[in-house]
Structure formats: C-alpha cells, structure tokens
Amino acid sequence: MPSAAKPATAATTAANQAVLAELPFYDTADFAEAWRGHVAPLPDGVVRGKAGRLVWDLGEYRFLETEQAPPEVNPSLWRLARLNMANGLFEVCPGVYQIRGLDLANMTIVEGERGVIVIDALTNAEAAATGLALYRAHRGERPVSALIYTHSHADHFGGAFGVASLDEVRAGRVPVIAPDGFMEELGAESVLAGIPMARRANFQFGGALHRGVRGQVDAGLGKRMGLAVSTLLPPTDLIVEPVESRTIDGVELVFQMAPQTEAPAEMHIWLPKQRVLNMAENTTRHLHNFIPLRGAQARDTRVWSNAITTSMALFGDQAEILVAQHHWPIWGREKLLGYLGRQRDLYKHIHDQALRLAARGLRPAEIAERLRLPDSLAQDWACRGYYGTVSHNAKAVYQRYLSWYDGNPANLDPLPPAEAARKLVEYLGPLDAVMARARDDFARGEYRWVVQLMNQLVFADPDNAAARELCADAHEQLGYQAESATWRNAYLLAAQELRGGISGSRAVGFLRPDMLPALSTEVVFDWLGVRLKAEQAAGLHWRIDWHFTDRGEIVAQNLENATLTQRLGTGSAAADARVTTTRAAFDRLVAGGVGFDVLLAEGAATVAGDATLPAKLFALLDVFETIFPVVTPR
C-alpha cells in the first residue's frame, strides 16, 4: 500500500538515539555466527510458486543494507532485521545443514546413510521445495528418509508437501515424526479460534504493511510469513516418552519431549554423534512470546524454563553446537551453556517476578511497567524483546494464573468500548480544547497517552477525522520506537488502518479445505459448534448420527439449548436422523460451497429418518468475514 507514513519526530529520533548508548552494539559476534558455514544464498533472493508467483522476495528488504538505523527504526530492531537477512544453505557441521531466510522458520537437514532427515517443513510447500532444491544443488540428490515436526505451529509443518508426498508417506517410505498431542493441539490452537487469530496475526506480522524504513522491517523470528498457504501431512509416528531414541537412516536421534512450552506439543532433538542439540523454538535469539499478539492460550513459562534445564542436564556435558528452528546456531559448549542458562532464567525471571509483584498487589499494567530484567539478561542480545516483550509477557503470566480480570470490581463489568467512549466524550466537553491539549502532548512525545485518548475519540465517533489522524500519528511514532518487531508491526498497521481503512489488510487462511482431512473428527465437530448461530437455534432440539464409513467413526451429534455437542463412538438410540457418508464427503459440507442435497444426489450420502435435518443444520452455521475492524468500532 502506498505509504502516507510520516517521518520520525524529534522525540522519536532522540529515543532511538538513546538506545545506541544503552545496548552493547560493539558486540558484533552475532553477525559472524549468522553467516558462519554459509554455502549458498537463496538464488535471486526469491521463492516462487505456481506460474512464477512470488511467495518470498528478500529484494524487498534491500533497504536494510545500510548499517546505521534510520530515525524511524529502533537501532536494536534494525540490528536484528539485518541479522535475519542471512539466507540460503548453511553447513552447521559435517552432516548437518540448515536452510534459513526462505521463510519465517528454519529447516534443519541431517544427512543419513541413504538420504536426509528433514526437521521442520517451513510454512508453505513452495519454500520447503525451494530449500530442499538448494540443498540438493550443493549436496546431491539425496532422498528424504524422514520428516520431523518439532512442534505444532504452522511455520514448522505447513510446507510438508514440499518435502514429501502423501503417497510416499502412505507407503511408509517417509515416516512423519511429531511430538505426542501434535494433532490435538493443532486443532485446539489454530482452528477453533482461527478467524480472530488470523486477523490479529495481520497486526503481529505486518504483512499488509509496505516493506521499508517507515514500514515492516522484520517479524522477530524472521522476516515475515511467506505468501502461500499452509497444508499438512499428518504425523505417522509420535514421540510419547519423556526421552526417546530412534535410529533413522543410520542416524541416532534422541527426542526430549517439552510439552506445554512454546507450543503445547513440542520436543527438542539431540544428535549424539554430531553433538548437536536442537532446541526447536524453546530457545531462540530473543525473548519469545508468553502470549503472541495474534492471541493464543497463555504459555506455561515455568514448564518452558524447566524444559531448558532438562536439556542442559541431559545433553549439556556433550553438546558442542546448539541449533534452533529460528535464527542461527551457537558453536562451543561453554558459550551455548551460558546462553541456555540465560534463556532458562529469562523465562523463569519474568514468570516469578510477575507473580511476586502480583503478590504485592500490583495490577497487570502496573506489573508490566515495573518489571525490568537484570542487566545480566538485559545486556544479552538474545534476551531482547524482538518478538515477545517483558511488558506483554508479564501480563501473560498474570493472565495464566489470575485471568484477564485485575481484581478491581470497577473493571468487572465496564461499558463496552464504544459506549464508554461516547459517555467519556460527552463529559469531556468541546473537543477542540481536547484536541489542542492532545496535540501539545504529542509535541512532547507522550505518544502512549495520545493513543489512549484518541482511541476513545475514535471509538466515540469513527468519523472524527482529526482524532483518527492524531491517533494514527501517535501509533506511528510508537511503532518507530518499538524494539519489538511485533509491536512495531501492530502500531504501524493501526496507523495505516486509521488513515486508509482496512482494505489493505488480508486475513491469512486458516481452515483450508485441504487441511480438513488432517483434522480429527472431534475438532471438526467442535468447529461446527463454534459456528452455530445461537439466535436461530433457540428452541430447536434434534439428534443426528453421522456414520463415516471411510474412518469407521460414528458421531452422535446433539442440538439442544442452542448448543451443539457430540459424542464419538456409538450412535444415539433416539437419533432423529442417521446419515451414512464419508468424512471426505462431510468435509466438503464443512468447507462450504456444497449443500447436503448435492451429496444425496451424488450418492455420497444416505439418510434414514428426517432427511431434512442435515441441510437445516448447515443452514444454522455462521460464515465469517476474515477481515473485521480492530482499531475502530465494530
């Protein structure tokens, strides 16, 4: 989108300048490590999809070639944004390679006797296939002997079809290995709340922003999300025990389960022969998210920290190299143990101190304001808040233990945002005077307050152009000052949408028809429950038994009290309708575009009992827009 972006103010320029004195910019070791073992760059800096469509283009980030940060970017973030430009094929050590900078995450490739073990498949098949091709161009045409998912986030499995085909997996030629609970957690995290999560992810990753010094420069974990869809090859082999070993293609791998950490289903991988420890996404070169801005269930950072402790205890006396599925490796035992210790303490420190401050009676916003890392952590580049921040992570700890509610009954049942804003504006009196004072505050650099107040004016009256503009301007300066890439993206997209509306935004896809078969029947039925238009279902009561012959599953579905529930296993004796079909056919109904009558006509379904009920059920299901207003009232 063409930018109406404004330059940094004097206050922002000064704030960003001050960062240069606060952090150890003289320490440039990361730049050497980020490029160490570089074999070849991503050819032309691009990943292309079908018909040459651009999926990934590092050329958009050419402006990062300048070493000195412009006034519109926090110098610490600028530094990371430059580090995340390292791209292509890297040799970690003989027999272990990484593909980096082709997508948000890394692909790790371990050479076996016959072929290669691929650890994580990036976000889309185009990136994964491009990465593997780059590897093969330099290391020969080795087949894939196994695919491993370290955890249940899309940037680690979404490109599976670029690594292996469904036929290869079905024939048992390529096992797909994942931590126990992988499919369940995938469904819970990214399907049931998928729509609002996708919209909020726009703000986290800033995909709708232009790339540039006044736009998106990075996403913390990597540059951005690739512009192609995620799909899924379901795992064929789950790691269940706390520590499990497998020998695959002559390579010994030791899996350490780390559930309920950065992802609900996650594991670390130890390669004893190569002495390489893969920490998946539990230690990356920054402070990660306790809750990402896109939204998720609050993560248990006590458990997360413990998983790092366990890795140190199990493998710390032998590990020589540490890799992760984002960012670059660490070579040398002493160095990697120091790093692991600081990461362990980073997560535990915020966890413990947030609860300590809560015990002293501080509320979430007060805890976030007060909590500061000790210098021994704060001066470590790998503890800086490029993705998570101390501020929102401290609030996430509060939420995990004590909920969204700060305990003050004044905040128990406030008026909803637009209503409260209208009352406030009514009390404020003439807005000219309010705007004049807000502009003074803006001139003084008090952007947080200006955003807070202008947001009220916008919610009271979204057509108040002056309030929208000042709100956008203040968001923008906050974005320029933010060290966190995700905060910067959020602020700058807010400014963009306040100025130009939300046409430039696009929610990323989430429940794609081709992902449906990989989801459990339980999750798919829960998704129908989320879609039920309760107002229209009031007073209805019926039971439908669904018999899926291709999976040998029977689902007894109950509609009652404007609520859908189901029980898998046996049908209901009192069913009003019994449908015999396949999950494959049912998935077409769920994906939309095909009515139940079509399945009947095709002979893909039969019904006993009240044959009108399946169509009535699907007529009761909501269809969502993937774009809704965020910075203006609904």
Distance in angstroms (rounded) separating the CA atoms of residues 235 and 424: 54
Choice between 308 and 495, CB closer to Zn ion: 308
Could you please report the per-residue DSSP string of 209-234?
A: SPBSTTSB---SSSS---SS------
Helix H or strand E segment including 69: none
Q: Within positions 241 to 300, which residues make up the interface with Zn ion, using CB under 5 A?
A: 281
In angstroms, give the least distance from the CB of 47 to Zn ion: 17
Instruction: Calculate the CA dihedral of residues 192, 197, 199, 201 and round it to 10 degrees.
Output: -150
Choice between 105 and 209, CB closer to Zn ion: 105
Choice between 72 and 103, CB closer to Zn ion: 103
The pair phi, psi for residue 535, each rounded to 5°, is -55, -40
In angstroms, give the least distance from the CB of 271 to Zn ion: 20
The number of residues that bind Zn ion (CB under 5 A) is 4
Q: Within positions 15 to 34, which residues make up the interface with Zn ion, using CB under 5 A?
A: none
In angstroms, give the least distance from the CB of 191 to Zn ion: 18
Choice between 153 and 299, CB closer to Zn ion: 153
Residue nearest to Zn ion (CB): 155
In angstroms, give the least distance from the CB of 155 to Zn ion: 4
In angstroms, give the least distance from the CB of 334 to Zn ion: 27
Choice between 249 and 281, CB closer to Zn ion: 281
Distance in angstroms (rounded) separating the CA atoms of residues 438 and 474: 10
Of 131-139, 148-156, 185-193, 371-379, the segment contacting Zn ion by CB under 5 A is: 148-156
Choice between 15 and 346, CB closer to Zn ion: 346
> Which of 126, 155, 497, 545 lies at the binding interface for Zn ion (CB under 5 A)?
155
Encode 150-208 in three state secondary structure.
Answer: CECCHHHHCCHHHCCCHHHHHCCCCCEEEECCHHHHHHHHHCCCHHHHHHHHHHHHCCC
* Runs of H (alpha helix) within 222-332: 301-315
In angstroms, give the least distance from the CB of 247 to Zn ion: 27
Per the DSSP assignment, residues forming a β-bridge with 276 are 271, 321
Choice between 155 and 473, CB closer to Zn ion: 155
Q: Within positions 568 to 627, which residues make up the interface with Zn ion, using CB under 5 A?
A: none
In angstroms, give the least distance from the CB of 203 to Zn ion: 18
In angstroms, give the least distance from the CB of 284 to Zn ion: 8
Could you please report the per-residue DSSP string of 3-26?
A: -------HHHHHHHHHHHHHS-TT
What b/e sequence results for 531-564 when a residue is b if at least 16 CB atoms lie within 10 Å of its CB, and e otherwise? bbeeeebeeeebbbbbbbeeeebbbbbbbeebeb
Amino acid at 211: R
Choice between 47 and 105, CB closer to Zn ion: 105
Q: Tokens 């945002």 sit at which residue?
A: 417
Choice between 290 and 586, CB closer to Zn ion: 290
Instruction: Calculate the CA dihedral of residues 285, 385, 159, 274 and round it to 10 degrees.
Output: 10
Q: What would the x/- binding string for Zn ion be over residues 515 to 554, using CB under 5 A?
A: ----------------------------------------
Helix H or strand E segment including 321: strand 321-323
Query: Do the beta carbons of residue 353 and residue 307 sit within 8 Å?
Result: no
Choice between 106 and 477, CB closer to Zn ion: 106
Choice between 88 and 220, CB closer to Zn ion: 220
- State both tokens at 333: 């035992």
Encode 228-246 in three state secondary structure.
Answer: CCCCCCCCCEEECCCEEEE
Q: Within positions 426 to 465, which residues make up the interface with Zn ion, using CB under 5 A?
A: none
Closest alpha carbon to 151 in 199, 119, 112: 119
In angstroms, give the least distance from the CB of 543 to Zn ion: 42
In angstroms, give the least distance from the CB of 387 to Zn ion: 10
Of 152-160, 181-189, 423-431, 532-540, the segment contacting Zn ion by CB under 5 A is: 152-160
Of 39-47, 146-154, 390-398, 440-448, the segment contacting Zn ion by CB under 5 A is: 146-154
Distance in angstroms (rounded) separating the CA atoms of residues 190 and 296: 9
In angstroms, give the least distance from the CB of 320 to Zn ion: 24
Choice between 105 and 537, CB closer to Zn ion: 105
Choice between 145 and 152, CB closer to Zn ion: 152
In angstroms, give the least distance from the CB of 81 to Zn ion: 17
Distance in angstroms (rounded) separating the CA atoms of residues 256 and 50: 38
In angstroms, give the least distance from the CB of 221 to Zn ion: 6
Amino acid at 499: R
73: helix, coil or strand? Answer: coil
Let me know if 247 is exposed, middle or buried by CB neighbors in 10 A (0-12, 13-18, 19+): exposed
Q: Within positions 70 to 109, which residues make up the interface with Zn ion, using CB under 5 A?
A: 105
Q: Is 406 in the site for Zn ion (CB under 5 A)?
A: no
Of 64-72, 155-163, 265-273, 380-388, the segment contacting Zn ion by CB under 5 A is: 155-163
Of 114-122, 149-157, 193-201, 503-511, the segment contacting Zn ion by CB under 5 A is: 149-157
Choice between 221 and 585, CB closer to Zn ion: 221
The distance of Cα 280 from the centroid of its chain, to the nearest Å, equals 14
Choice between 189 and 281, CB closer to Zn ion: 281
Q: How far apart are the first and last CA of the chain?
A: 23
Q: Tokens 């948000």 sit at which residue?
A: 104
Q: What would the x/- binding string for Zn ion be over residues 497 to 516, using CB under 5 A?
A: --------------------
Summarize the chain as % helix, strand, coil (round to 5). Answer: 45, 15, 40
Let me know if 331 is exposed, middle or buried by CB neighbors in 10 A (0-12, 13-18, 19+): middle
In angstroms, give the least distance from the CB of 515 to Zn ion: 18
In angstroms, give the least distance from the CB of 526 to Zn ion: 25
Q: Which residues form the interface with Zn ion (CB under 5 A)? A: 105, 153, 155, 281
